[in-house]
Chain A
Amino acid sequence: MKPERLEPVPFRGGGFAPRMSRAGGAVALLGLIALWQAATSILHVSPLFMPSPLAIAAALYQLVVHGDLLSQVGVSVLRILAGWSLGVVAGLALGLGMGLFSFARSAGFSIVSALFPIPKIALLPLMILWFGIGEGSKVATIALGVFFPTAISAASGVDSVPRNLIRMAQSFGLPFGDIVRKVVLPGALPSILAGFRISSSIALLLVVSAEMIGAEKGIGAFVLQAGNLMQTDQLLAGVVVLSLIGLVVARAIGALEARLIDWR
Protein backbone atom coordinates (compact mmCIF):
# COMPACT_ATOMS: atom_id res chain seq x y z
CA MET A 1 0.00 0.00 0.00
CA LYS A 2 1.35 3.41 -0.94
CA PRO A 3 1.35 5.99 1.90
CA GLU A 4 -0.42 9.28 1.24
CA ARG A 5 2.65 11.40 1.75
CA LEU A 6 6.27 10.91 2.77
CA GLU A 7 7.70 12.80 5.75
CA PRO A 8 11.39 13.82 5.86
CA VAL A 9 13.33 11.50 8.20
CA PRO A 10 14.54 13.66 11.09
CA PHE A 11 18.28 13.66 11.83
CA ARG A 12 18.98 12.06 15.19
CA GLY A 13 22.66 11.16 15.05
CA GLY A 14 24.09 14.40 16.45
CA GLY A 15 26.16 15.10 19.57
CA PHE A 16 28.57 12.90 21.54
CA ALA A 17 31.52 14.13 19.48
CA PRO A 18 33.17 16.95 21.49
CA ARG A 19 35.98 18.76 19.70
CA MET A 20 39.06 20.47 21.09
CA SER A 21 39.93 24.01 20.06
CA ARG A 22 43.28 25.55 20.97
CA ALA A 23 41.87 29.04 20.75
CA GLY A 24 38.97 28.13 23.04
CA GLY A 25 41.40 26.73 25.58
CA ALA A 26 43.57 29.84 25.53
CA VAL A 27 40.55 32.11 25.89
CA ALA A 28 39.29 30.11 28.89
CA LEU A 29 42.68 30.25 30.60
CA LEU A 30 43.18 33.97 29.95
CA GLY A 31 39.60 34.61 30.99
CA LEU A 32 40.21 32.90 34.34
CA ILE A 33 43.34 34.98 34.94
CA ALA A 34 41.50 38.18 33.97
CA LEU A 35 38.66 37.27 36.33
CA TRP A 36 41.17 36.70 39.13
CA GLN A 37 42.85 40.03 38.37
CA ALA A 38 39.51 41.83 38.35
CA ALA A 39 38.34 40.14 41.54
CA THR A 40 41.48 41.08 43.49
CA SER A 41 41.28 44.75 42.45
CA ILE A 42 37.50 45.17 42.76
CA LEU A 43 37.09 43.27 46.04
CA HIS A 44 40.30 44.75 47.51
CA VAL A 45 41.59 41.35 48.59
CA SER A 46 44.67 41.69 50.77
CA PRO A 47 47.75 40.81 48.65
CA LEU A 48 48.99 38.88 51.67
CA PHE A 49 46.00 36.58 51.36
CA MET A 50 45.76 36.39 47.57
CA PRO A 51 48.00 38.51 45.35
CA SER A 52 46.82 39.44 41.87
CA PRO A 53 48.20 37.68 38.76
CA LEU A 54 50.05 40.89 37.86
CA ALA A 55 51.68 41.01 41.29
CA ILE A 56 52.74 37.38 40.92
CA ALA A 57 54.15 38.11 37.46
CA ALA A 58 56.07 41.08 38.85
CA ALA A 59 57.42 38.97 41.72
CA LEU A 60 58.45 36.28 39.25
CA TYR A 61 60.26 38.84 37.12
CA GLN A 62 62.06 40.27 40.14
CA LEU A 63 63.07 36.83 41.36
CA VAL A 64 64.38 35.76 37.98
CA VAL A 65 66.27 38.98 37.21
CA HIS A 66 67.45 40.11 40.65
CA GLY A 67 67.00 37.04 42.80
CA ASP A 68 68.31 33.51 42.73
CA LEU A 69 65.13 31.72 41.65
CA LEU A 70 66.86 30.19 38.63
CA SER A 71 69.62 28.69 40.72
CA GLN A 72 66.98 27.32 43.14
CA VAL A 73 65.20 25.76 40.18
CA GLY A 74 68.52 24.39 38.91
CA VAL A 75 69.15 22.63 42.24
CA SER A 76 65.69 21.00 42.14
CA VAL A 77 65.99 19.98 38.49
CA LEU A 78 69.36 18.32 39.16
CA ARG A 79 67.84 16.37 42.07
CA ILE A 80 64.93 15.28 39.87
CA LEU A 81 67.23 14.25 37.03
CA ALA A 82 69.50 12.23 39.30
CA GLY A 83 66.70 10.53 41.25
CA TRP A 84 64.50 9.92 38.23
CA SER A 85 67.34 8.43 36.16
CA LEU A 86 68.38 6.09 38.96
CA GLY A 87 64.80 5.01 39.61
CA VAL A 88 64.03 4.51 35.93
CA VAL A 89 67.12 2.43 35.21
CA ALA A 90 66.51 0.17 38.21
CA GLY A 91 62.75 0.06 37.60
CA LEU A 92 63.16 -0.86 33.93
CA ALA A 93 65.61 -3.61 34.83
CA LEU A 94 63.23 -5.14 37.37
CA GLY A 95 60.11 -4.57 35.24
CA LEU A 96 61.56 -6.12 32.10
CA GLY A 97 62.84 -9.01 34.19
CA MET A 98 59.36 -9.46 35.64
CA GLY A 99 57.94 -9.54 32.14
CA LEU A 100 60.45 -12.08 30.84
CA PHE A 101 61.55 -14.47 33.59
CA SER A 102 59.50 -16.58 35.98
CA PHE A 103 61.74 -16.05 38.99
CA ALA A 104 61.89 -12.26 38.59
CA ARG A 105 58.14 -12.27 38.04
CA SER A 106 57.28 -14.14 41.24
CA ALA A 107 59.81 -12.25 43.37
CA GLY A 108 59.17 -8.90 41.71
CA PHE A 109 55.41 -8.88 41.96
CA SER A 110 55.37 -9.80 45.65
CA ILE A 111 58.03 -7.21 46.49
CA VAL A 112 56.46 -4.48 44.39
CA SER A 113 52.95 -5.04 45.70
CA ALA A 114 54.25 -5.01 49.28
CA LEU A 115 56.31 -1.82 48.93
CA PHE A 116 54.47 0.19 46.26
CA PRO A 117 51.68 1.48 48.57
CA ILE A 118 54.15 3.09 51.02
CA PRO A 119 54.10 6.87 50.57
CA LYS A 120 57.77 7.31 49.70
CA ILE A 121 58.06 10.64 51.47
CA ALA A 122 57.57 8.73 54.73
CA LEU A 123 60.90 7.08 54.05
CA LEU A 124 62.77 10.40 53.83
CA PRO A 125 63.83 10.30 57.51
CA LEU A 126 65.23 6.83 56.94
CA MET A 127 66.99 8.01 53.81
CA ILE A 128 68.47 10.91 55.81
CA LEU A 129 69.76 8.40 58.37
CA TRP A 130 71.31 6.35 55.57
CA PHE A 131 72.57 8.99 53.18
CA GLY A 132 72.79 12.12 55.29
CA ILE A 133 70.85 15.37 55.11
CA GLY A 134 72.52 16.36 51.82
CA GLU A 135 71.68 15.43 48.26
CA GLY A 136 71.81 11.65 48.79
CA SER A 137 68.63 11.36 50.83
CA LYS A 138 66.58 13.48 48.41
CA VAL A 139 67.85 11.69 45.34
CA ALA A 140 67.23 8.32 46.99
CA THR A 141 63.65 9.26 47.95
CA ILE A 142 62.89 10.36 44.39
CA ALA A 143 64.55 7.24 42.96
CA LEU A 144 62.42 5.05 45.25
CA GLY A 145 59.26 6.87 44.25
CA VAL A 146 60.07 6.49 40.56
CA PHE A 147 61.29 2.90 40.79
CA PHE A 148 57.96 1.20 41.51
CA PRO A 149 55.69 2.76 38.88
CA THR A 150 58.47 2.28 36.31
CA ALA A 151 58.83 -1.40 37.18
CA ILE A 152 55.07 -1.89 36.97
CA SER A 153 54.68 -0.09 33.65
CA ALA A 154 57.62 -1.98 32.13
CA ALA A 155 56.29 -5.34 33.32
CA SER A 156 52.78 -4.65 32.05
CA GLY A 157 54.31 -3.32 28.84
CA VAL A 158 56.03 -6.64 28.24
CA ASP A 159 52.80 -8.45 29.11
CA SER A 160 50.92 -6.36 26.57
CA VAL A 161 53.16 -7.38 23.66
CA PRO A 162 50.89 -9.58 21.53
CA ARG A 163 51.78 -13.22 22.09
CA ASN A 164 51.45 -13.94 18.38
CA LEU A 165 54.31 -11.55 17.56
CA ILE A 166 56.61 -13.44 19.89
CA ARG A 167 55.49 -16.76 18.40
CA MET A 168 56.08 -15.33 14.93
CA ALA A 169 59.63 -14.34 15.88
CA GLN A 170 60.22 -17.79 17.37
CA SER A 171 58.88 -19.44 14.24
CA PHE A 172 61.47 -17.57 12.16
CA GLY A 173 64.21 -18.77 14.48
CA LEU A 174 65.11 -15.43 16.07
CA PRO A 175 67.40 -15.91 19.09
CA PHE A 176 66.11 -14.85 22.53
CA GLY A 177 68.12 -11.60 22.58
CA ASP A 178 66.82 -10.59 19.16
CA ILE A 179 63.23 -11.27 20.20
CA VAL A 180 63.68 -9.07 23.28
CA ARG A 181 65.38 -6.28 21.31
CA LYS A 182 63.25 -6.31 18.16
CA VAL A 183 59.83 -7.44 19.40
CA VAL A 184 59.43 -7.16 23.18
CA LEU A 185 61.10 -3.80 23.83
CA PRO A 186 59.44 -1.85 21.00
CA GLY A 187 56.12 -3.47 21.89
CA ALA A 188 56.49 -2.47 25.56
CA LEU A 189 57.52 1.09 24.73
CA PRO A 190 54.04 2.69 24.79
CA SER A 191 53.46 1.40 28.31
CA ILE A 192 56.98 2.42 29.41
CA LEU A 193 56.49 5.95 28.11
CA ALA A 194 53.09 6.16 29.82
CA GLY A 195 54.96 5.16 32.98
CA PHE A 196 57.38 8.06 32.40
CA ARG A 197 54.46 10.47 32.61
CA ILE A 198 53.46 9.09 35.99
CA SER A 199 56.98 8.80 37.35
CA SER A 200 57.97 12.32 36.30
CA SER A 201 55.06 13.85 38.17
CA ILE A 202 55.91 11.69 41.20
CA ALA A 203 59.49 12.96 40.99
CA LEU A 204 58.30 16.58 40.98
CA LEU A 205 56.01 15.93 43.94
CA LEU A 206 58.76 14.23 45.92
CA VAL A 207 61.45 16.82 45.23
CA VAL A 208 59.19 19.59 46.55
CA SER A 209 58.18 17.56 49.61
CA ALA A 210 61.75 16.56 50.38
CA GLU A 211 62.97 20.13 49.99
CA MET A 212 60.24 21.39 52.27
CA ILE A 213 61.29 18.92 54.96
CA GLY A 214 65.03 19.36 54.88
CA ALA A 215 66.79 21.61 52.40
CA GLU A 216 68.20 25.10 52.21
CA LYS A 217 68.04 25.37 48.46
CA GLY A 218 65.60 24.19 45.87
CA ILE A 219 62.18 25.28 44.73
CA GLY A 220 60.41 23.46 47.58
CA ALA A 221 62.54 25.19 50.19
CA PHE A 222 61.98 28.48 48.43
CA VAL A 223 58.18 28.14 48.46
CA LEU A 224 58.18 27.12 52.12
CA GLN A 225 60.41 30.02 53.09
CA ALA A 226 58.26 32.51 51.16
CA GLY A 227 55.25 31.19 53.05
CA ASN A 228 57.01 31.55 56.41
CA LEU A 229 57.87 35.15 55.54
CA MET A 230 54.31 35.76 54.30
CA GLN A 231 55.61 36.71 50.87
CA THR A 232 52.58 35.29 49.15
CA ASP A 233 53.47 36.72 45.72
CA GLN A 234 56.84 34.97 45.84
CA LEU A 235 55.23 31.78 47.11
CA LEU A 236 52.86 31.73 44.15
CA ALA A 237 55.67 32.69 41.76
CA GLY A 238 57.40 29.49 42.92
CA VAL A 239 54.20 27.53 42.30
CA VAL A 240 54.00 28.96 38.78
CA VAL A 241 57.57 27.80 38.15
CA LEU A 242 56.64 24.31 39.38
CA SER A 243 53.69 24.13 37.03
CA LEU A 244 55.95 25.29 34.17
CA ILE A 245 58.42 22.50 34.96
CA GLY A 246 55.55 20.01 34.91
CA LEU A 247 54.35 21.37 31.55
CA VAL A 248 57.82 21.22 29.99
CA VAL A 249 58.32 17.62 31.14
CA ALA A 250 54.90 16.56 29.82
CA ARG A 251 55.70 18.23 26.49
CA ALA A 252 59.08 16.47 26.31
CA ILE A 253 57.46 13.08 26.91
CA GLY A 254 54.79 13.91 24.34
CA ALA A 255 57.51 14.69 21.80
CA LEU A 256 59.26 11.42 22.67
CA GLU A 257 55.99 9.53 22.12
CA ALA A 258 55.36 11.24 18.80
CA ARG A 259 58.85 10.22 17.68
CA LEU A 260 59.09 6.70 19.05
CA ILE A 261 55.57 5.31 18.86
CA ASP A 262 54.12 7.00 15.81
CA TRP A 263 53.40 3.53 14.42
CA ARG A 264 50.31 3.20 16.60
Chain B
Amino acid sequence: MAEIALDGVSHRFGALDVLVDVSFSVGAGEIAAIVGPSGCGKSTLLSIAGGLLQPSAGSVRAGGFPAASLNPLTFVFQDFALLPWRDVAGNVALALEHRALSPHETKTIVADVLARTGLSDFAAALPKQLSGGMRQRVGLARALAVRPAVLLMDEPLSALDSQTRDLLMDDLSRLLEDGDMSVLYVTHNLDEAVRLADRAIVFSRRPGRIRAISQAPVPRAKRRDPAHAETLARWRADLWDMIRGEAAEAERETVAERAP
Protein backbone atom coordinates (compact mmCIF):
# COMPACT_ATOMS: atom_id res chain seq x y z
CA MET B 1 0.00 0.00 0.00
CA ALA B 2 1.24 3.41 -0.97
CA GLU B 3 2.70 5.69 1.62
CA ILE B 4 4.66 8.91 1.56
CA ALA B 5 6.72 10.05 4.54
CA LEU B 6 8.54 13.33 5.16
CA ASP B 7 11.31 13.24 7.69
CA GLY B 8 12.79 16.41 9.18
CA VAL B 9 12.28 18.43 6.02
CA SER B 10 13.60 22.00 6.19
CA HIS B 11 14.04 24.47 3.40
CA ARG B 12 15.47 27.90 2.91
CA PHE B 13 15.60 30.26 -0.06
CA GLY B 14 18.82 32.19 0.42
CA ALA B 15 18.63 33.71 3.88
CA LEU B 16 14.90 33.07 4.18
CA ASP B 17 13.79 30.08 6.23
CA VAL B 18 10.67 28.66 4.62
CA LEU B 19 10.16 25.30 6.29
CA VAL B 20 11.55 24.01 9.56
CA ASP B 21 11.77 20.35 10.53
CA VAL B 22 8.57 19.04 8.99
CA SER B 23 7.80 15.37 9.56
CA PHE B 24 4.61 13.48 8.83
CA SER B 25 3.38 10.63 6.70
CA VAL B 26 0.29 9.94 4.66
CA GLY B 27 -0.97 6.40 4.32
CA ALA B 28 -2.82 4.55 1.58
CA GLY B 29 -6.18 6.02 0.68
CA GLU B 30 -5.78 8.89 3.09
CA ILE B 31 -6.41 12.52 2.22
CA ALA B 32 -4.28 14.91 4.23
CA ALA B 33 -4.98 18.61 3.91
CA ILE B 34 -2.09 20.96 4.56
CA VAL B 35 -3.57 24.22 5.77
CA GLY B 36 -1.92 27.38 6.96
CA PRO B 37 -1.57 31.10 6.33
CA SER B 38 -0.32 32.47 3.01
CA GLY B 39 3.41 32.18 2.52
CA CYS B 40 3.90 29.47 5.13
CA GLY B 41 5.69 27.20 2.67
CA LYS B 42 2.80 24.87 1.86
CA SER B 43 3.47 24.81 -1.86
CA THR B 44 7.21 24.55 -1.30
CA LEU B 45 6.53 21.52 0.85
CA LEU B 46 4.47 19.91 -1.90
CA SER B 47 7.22 20.50 -4.46
CA ILE B 48 9.67 18.85 -2.10
CA ALA B 49 7.30 15.93 -1.49
CA GLY B 50 6.96 15.35 -5.23
CA GLY B 51 10.67 15.59 -6.00
CA LEU B 52 10.50 18.89 -7.88
CA LEU B 53 12.57 20.71 -5.28
CA GLN B 54 15.48 19.49 -3.18
CA PRO B 55 15.05 20.27 0.51
CA SER B 56 17.86 22.03 2.35
CA ALA B 57 17.64 19.27 4.97
CA GLY B 58 15.62 16.17 5.64
CA SER B 59 14.26 13.56 3.30
CA VAL B 60 11.12 12.32 1.58
CA ARG B 61 10.48 8.65 1.08
CA ALA B 62 7.61 6.91 -0.62
CA GLY B 63 6.77 3.38 -1.61
CA GLY B 64 4.25 0.60 -1.91
CA PHE B 65 3.03 1.85 -5.26
CA PRO B 66 0.71 -0.40 -7.24
CA ALA B 67 2.40 -1.89 -10.31
CA ALA B 68 -0.25 -0.37 -12.55
CA SER B 69 0.68 3.17 -11.56
CA LEU B 70 2.38 4.96 -14.45
CA ASN B 71 3.47 7.99 -12.44
CA PRO B 72 3.16 7.25 -8.72
CA LEU B 73 3.69 10.83 -7.49
CA THR B 74 1.44 13.07 -9.56
CA PHE B 75 0.72 16.78 -9.26
CA VAL B 76 -2.39 18.84 -9.82
CA PHE B 77 -1.34 22.47 -10.17
CA GLN B 78 -3.00 25.64 -8.97
CA ASP B 79 -2.62 27.33 -12.36
CA PHE B 80 -3.59 24.13 -14.21
CA ALA B 81 -0.31 24.03 -16.19
CA LEU B 82 -1.95 23.10 -19.49
CA LEU B 83 -0.08 23.39 -22.78
CA PRO B 84 -2.03 26.12 -24.61
CA TRP B 85 -1.16 24.66 -28.03
CA ARG B 86 -2.60 21.23 -27.26
CA ASP B 87 -6.29 20.42 -27.14
CA VAL B 88 -7.85 18.78 -24.10
CA ALA B 89 -7.18 15.22 -25.26
CA GLY B 90 -3.63 16.19 -26.24
CA ASN B 91 -2.95 17.69 -22.83
CA VAL B 92 -4.05 14.47 -21.16
CA ALA B 93 -2.12 12.35 -23.66
CA LEU B 94 1.07 14.32 -22.90
CA ALA B 95 1.30 12.45 -19.60
CA LEU B 96 1.11 9.09 -21.39
CA GLU B 97 2.99 9.45 -24.68
CA HIS B 98 6.41 8.63 -23.27
CA ARG B 99 5.15 5.52 -21.49
CA ALA B 100 5.24 2.05 -22.99
CA LEU B 101 1.65 2.14 -24.19
CA SER B 102 0.20 1.40 -27.60
CA PRO B 103 -1.61 4.27 -29.31
CA HIS B 104 -4.81 2.34 -28.76
CA GLU B 105 -4.18 2.02 -25.01
CA THR B 106 -3.37 5.72 -24.77
CA LYS B 107 -6.57 6.58 -26.59
CA THR B 108 -8.63 4.35 -24.33
CA ILE B 109 -7.15 5.84 -21.15
CA VAL B 110 -7.68 9.39 -22.41
CA ALA B 111 -11.30 8.68 -23.35
CA ASP B 112 -11.89 7.05 -19.98
CA VAL B 113 -10.55 9.90 -17.84
CA LEU B 114 -12.27 12.52 -19.99
CA ALA B 115 -15.55 10.68 -19.39
CA ARG B 116 -14.89 10.51 -15.64
CA THR B 117 -14.22 14.24 -15.45
CA GLY B 118 -17.13 15.23 -17.69
CA LEU B 119 -14.90 16.42 -20.52
CA SER B 120 -15.79 13.98 -23.31
CA ASP B 121 -17.48 16.69 -25.35
CA PHE B 122 -14.48 18.99 -25.03
CA ALA B 123 -11.73 16.63 -26.18
CA ALA B 124 -10.88 18.81 -29.17
CA ALA B 125 -11.12 22.17 -27.39
CA LEU B 126 -8.04 24.32 -26.76
CA PRO B 127 -7.43 25.53 -23.20
CA LYS B 128 -8.15 29.14 -24.23
CA GLN B 129 -11.69 28.05 -25.11
CA LEU B 130 -12.36 26.64 -21.63
CA SER B 131 -13.48 28.24 -18.38
CA GLY B 132 -11.22 28.00 -15.33
CA GLY B 133 -13.26 25.16 -13.88
CA MET B 134 -13.05 23.15 -17.08
CA ARG B 135 -9.31 23.78 -17.29
CA GLN B 136 -8.79 22.36 -13.84
CA ARG B 137 -10.92 19.36 -14.84
CA VAL B 138 -8.36 18.81 -17.59
CA GLY B 139 -5.63 19.03 -14.96
CA LEU B 140 -7.47 16.40 -12.92
CA ALA B 141 -8.06 14.16 -15.94
CA ARG B 142 -4.37 14.34 -16.80
CA ALA B 143 -3.45 13.38 -13.24
CA LEU B 144 -5.93 10.50 -13.11
CA ALA B 145 -4.74 9.19 -16.49
CA VAL B 146 -1.41 8.07 -15.04
CA ARG B 147 -3.11 6.18 -12.18
CA PRO B 148 -1.25 7.98 -9.37
CA ALA B 149 -0.52 6.35 -6.06
CA VAL B 150 -0.03 9.69 -4.34
CA LEU B 151 -1.83 12.77 -5.63
CA LEU B 152 -0.12 16.05 -4.79
CA MET B 153 -2.64 18.84 -5.12
CA ASP B 154 -1.36 22.40 -4.90
CA GLU B 155 -4.31 24.70 -4.14
CA PRO B 156 -6.18 23.10 -7.05
CA LEU B 157 -9.32 25.21 -6.62
CA SER B 158 -7.93 28.54 -5.50
CA ALA B 159 -7.75 30.07 -8.99
CA LEU B 160 -11.50 29.50 -9.41
CA ASP B 161 -14.50 31.58 -8.42
CA SER B 162 -16.44 30.34 -5.41
CA GLN B 163 -19.34 28.80 -7.33
CA THR B 164 -17.05 26.84 -9.62
CA ARG B 165 -15.04 25.84 -6.56
CA ASP B 166 -18.13 24.33 -4.92
CA LEU B 167 -18.99 22.41 -8.07
CA LEU B 168 -15.48 21.09 -8.46
CA MET B 169 -15.26 20.13 -4.80
CA ASP B 170 -18.21 17.78 -5.37
CA ASP B 171 -16.45 16.25 -8.36
CA LEU B 172 -13.21 15.95 -6.45
CA SER B 173 -14.73 14.17 -3.49
CA ARG B 174 -16.43 11.74 -5.90
CA LEU B 175 -13.22 11.13 -7.88
CA LEU B 176 -11.17 10.63 -4.73
CA GLU B 177 -13.72 8.24 -3.22
CA ASP B 178 -12.96 5.32 -5.49
CA GLY B 179 -9.46 3.97 -5.46
CA ASP B 180 -6.87 3.93 -2.72
CA MET B 181 -4.94 7.00 -3.76
CA SER B 182 -3.18 8.91 -1.04
CA VAL B 183 -3.65 12.64 -1.35
CA LEU B 184 -1.65 15.58 -0.08
CA TYR B 185 -3.97 18.53 -0.52
CA VAL B 186 -2.50 21.99 0.00
CA THR B 187 -5.04 24.73 0.55
CA HIS B 188 -5.63 27.93 2.43
CA ASN B 189 -9.37 27.37 2.14
CA LEU B 190 -10.70 25.62 5.24
CA ASP B 191 -13.98 24.67 3.51
CA GLU B 192 -12.02 22.49 1.12
CA ALA B 193 -10.15 20.87 3.97
CA VAL B 194 -13.31 20.26 5.97
CA ARG B 195 -15.07 18.81 2.96
CA LEU B 196 -12.32 16.57 1.60
CA ALA B 197 -9.70 15.70 4.20
CA ASP B 198 -9.31 12.84 6.64
CA ARG B 199 -6.70 14.84 8.48
CA ALA B 200 -5.71 18.48 8.56
CA ILE B 201 -2.06 19.30 9.07
CA VAL B 202 -2.01 22.87 10.34
CA PHE B 203 1.06 24.97 9.60
CA SER B 204 2.37 28.01 11.38
CA ARG B 205 3.28 31.18 9.51
CA ARG B 206 6.69 31.38 7.86
CA PRO B 207 8.98 29.66 8.59
CA GLY B 208 6.39 26.91 8.33
CA ARG B 209 6.33 24.21 10.94
CA ILE B 210 3.60 21.80 11.88
CA ARG B 211 1.47 23.44 14.52
CA ALA B 212 -1.11 20.70 14.93
CA ILE B 213 -2.47 17.64 13.25
CA SER B 214 -6.22 17.33 13.52
CA GLN B 215 -8.25 14.24 12.67
CA ALA B 216 -11.59 14.81 10.91
CA PRO B 217 -14.50 14.13 13.29
CA VAL B 218 -16.72 12.68 10.55
CA PRO B 219 -15.80 10.07 7.92
CA ARG B 220 -15.55 11.42 4.37
CA ALA B 221 -18.58 9.51 3.09
CA LYS B 222 -20.84 11.24 5.60
CA ARG B 223 -19.66 14.83 5.14
CA ARG B 224 -22.76 15.81 3.16
CA ASP B 225 -25.09 14.41 5.80
CA PRO B 226 -26.86 17.37 7.47
CA ALA B 227 -26.74 15.49 10.78
CA HIS B 228 -23.00 16.14 10.92
CA ALA B 229 -23.11 19.75 9.82
CA GLU B 230 -22.66 21.07 13.32
CA THR B 231 -19.75 18.78 14.14
CA LEU B 232 -18.00 19.82 10.93
CA ALA B 233 -18.68 23.49 11.57
CA ARG B 234 -17.05 23.08 14.97
CA TRP B 235 -14.03 21.38 13.38
CA ARG B 236 -13.74 24.22 10.92
CA ALA B 237 -13.92 26.75 13.77
CA ASP B 238 -11.22 24.86 15.68
CA LEU B 239 -8.95 24.89 12.63
CA TRP B 240 -9.61 28.58 12.07
CA ASP B 241 -8.79 29.31 15.70
CA MET B 242 -5.40 27.72 15.18
CA ILE B 243 -4.74 29.62 11.97
CA ARG B 244 -6.31 33.00 12.69
CA GLY B 245 -3.56 34.36 14.89
CA GLU B 246 -0.87 33.05 12.56
CA ALA B 247 -2.61 34.49 9.51
CA ALA B 248 -2.98 37.90 11.14
CA GLU B 249 0.72 37.87 12.11
CA ALA B 250 1.71 36.73 8.62
CA GLU B 251 -0.36 39.51 7.08
CA ARG B 252 1.38 42.13 9.23
CA GLU B 253 4.79 40.67 8.44
CA THR B 254 4.13 40.84 4.73
CA VAL B 255 3.15 44.48 5.02
CA ALA B 256 6.16 45.23 7.22
CA GLU B 257 8.50 43.62 4.68
CA ARG B 258 7.10 45.74 1.89
CA ALA B 259 7.57 48.97 3.81
CA PRO B 260 10.75 50.85 2.85
Does A3 sit within 8 A of B, measured CB to CB? no
Does A175 sit within 8 A of B, measured CB to CB? yes
Give residues of chain A (159-179) contacting chain B, Cβ–Cβ below 8 Å: 162, 164-165, 167-175, 178
Does A182 sit within 8 A of B, measured CB to CB? yes
Digit string of B78-89 for contact with A (CB within 8 Å is 1, else 0)? 010101110000
Would you call A171 and B98 a contact (CB within 8 A)?
no
Prevailing SS type, chain A contact patch: helix
When the two chains form the complex, which single residue of B84, B95, B126 contacts A172, counting CB atoms closer than 8 Å?
B95
Does B146 sit within 8 A of A, measured CB to CB? yes
Query: How many residues on chain A are close to B (CB under 8 Å)?
Result: 19
Name the residue of chain A whose CB is nearest to the CB of B79: A164
Given contacts A164-B77, A263-B126, contact A182 B84 (CB under 8 A): no
Given contacts A167-B52, A174-B98, contact A261 B85 (CB under 8 A): yes
Name the residue of chain B whose CB is nearest to the CB of A172: B95
Contacts of A164 in B (CB 8 A): 77, 79, 81
When the two chains form the complex, which single residue of A167, A169, A170, A175 contacts B94, counting CB atoms closer than 8 Å?
A169
Does A264 sit within 8 A of B, measured CB to CB? yes
Would you call A183 and B146 a contact (CB within 8 A)?
no
Min C-beta distance of A179 to chain B, whole Å: 10
Does A97 sit within 8 A of B, measured CB to CB? no
Would you call B74 and A172 a contact (CB within 8 A)?
yes
When the two chains form the complex, which single residue of B81, B84, B85, B97 contacts A168, counting CB atoms closer than 8 Å?
B81
Would you call A171 and B52 a contact (CB within 8 A)?
yes
Would you call A167 and B98 a contact (CB within 8 A)?
no
Would you call B81 and A167 a contact (CB within 8 A)?
yes
Contacts of A173 in B (CB 8 A): 71, 98
Give residues of chain B (99-134) contacting chain A, Cβ–Cβ below 8 Å: 126-128
Would you call A172 and B79 a contact (CB within 8 A)?
no
Does B75 sit within 8 A of A, measured CB to CB? yes
Does A136 sit within 8 A of B, measured CB to CB? no
Contacts of B81 in A (CB 8 A): 162, 164-165, 167-168
Does A186 sit within 8 A of B, measured CB to CB? yes
Contacts of A170 in B (CB 8 A): 52
Chain B residues engaging chain A, CB cutoff 8 angstroms: 47, 50, 52, 71, 73-75, 77, 79, 81, 83-85, 94-95, 97-98, 126-128, 142, 146
